[in-house]
Amino acid sequence: AIQKLKALGVLTARQGQGPNHVIARNEDLIDSFFPVIYLDKNHIIEVLEFRRTIESESIRLASIRGNEEDIRRIKRALDNMVKNRRDYKKYSIADYQFHLNIARASNNSIFYRVMLRLKVILYSHFEEMNKNLGPELSLENHKKLFDAINNHNPKLAAFLLDKIIELSLKKLKSE
């Protein structure tokens, strides 16, 4: 399977580092396959708790380390969220890409790889949240997060993310 993906240009293997060391080459493939799993309320809460831990540091680092190309990627995902705010499925794909691009901008390969490996869970989480809570508040919060990253304000970015997740947790727990 790895050989086939290498032939398609999707992966590249590093010489001398073993057959399991491969690198994804085409980020656009992330758009092409979004399977969905059902997450109940308890699982959504667990994903939010996980995200709070991982993404708070990721967004802080992105605010410090993110370069112009990183900022453009995050902005492109935000623009796609705006464009697709009436279609929660497309909006959720852009939502996942927004957070994935923040992890990438952190320049911490572990954060980025975790976000890639958990794509199915995270996308399903975003889809369920966006379907039930709607995009209005989400979109405004994402704009604030982007502004904090773009202005290289790591404390504000981490603070906003924590408050957004806390608000989501309260809403879910009160239902």
pTM: 0.78
Helix, strand, coil fractions of the chain, as percent rounded to 5: 75, 5, 20
pLDDT band at 22 (very low <50, low <70, confident <90, very high): very low
Here the tokens at position 116 are 């890639």
Q: Output the average pLDDT for the chain.
A: 83
Q: Taking the C-alpha atoms of 47, 49, 51 and 56 in order, what is their torsion angle to the nearest 10 degrees? A: 170
Averaged pLDDT for residues 165-170: 89
Q: How far apart are CA 30 and CA 106, in angstroms?
A: 18
Q: What is the pLDDT of residues 43-89, one digit of tens each?
A: 888 888 989 999 999 999 999 999 999 999 999 999 999 999 999 99
Q: Are 153 and 67 in contact (CB under 8 A)?
A: no
